[in-house]
Amino acid sequence: MGLSSGFFGRRSRGRRRIHEIIVRTFARTLGRWYSDESAQDLVEYAYLSAFVGLAGILVWAAIVTLLGARYADYNTGVQNQWCPPNPDGTATANCP
């Protein structure tokens, strides 16, 4: 009887005590984090950098689209101005 009561009695009280300490410490730490405002600047900078990054992605997509359209227009204009020479060296008709 001494072995079983000592085994279950002491260890279960010890485990319960450790569990209470861990829960109390965790609750205290969460309370400190919740009431602490020193990281507010860090969160504001994170929001600001996310906004700037998103704006940059949207602007970059618009720039790529505009540059692609401008290059296609330029390329079409250049291709339309090209006049291949006649094999005999005479001037070609309908060339600008």
Phi and psi (nearest 5°) for 41? -60, -40
Domain boundaries, the chain: 1-36, 39-78
Dump pLDDT digits (tens) for 40-89. 778 889 999 999 999 999 999 999 999 999 999 999 888 888 777 778 87
* pTM score: 0.41
Question: Contact at 8 Å (CB) between 63 and 54?
Answer: no
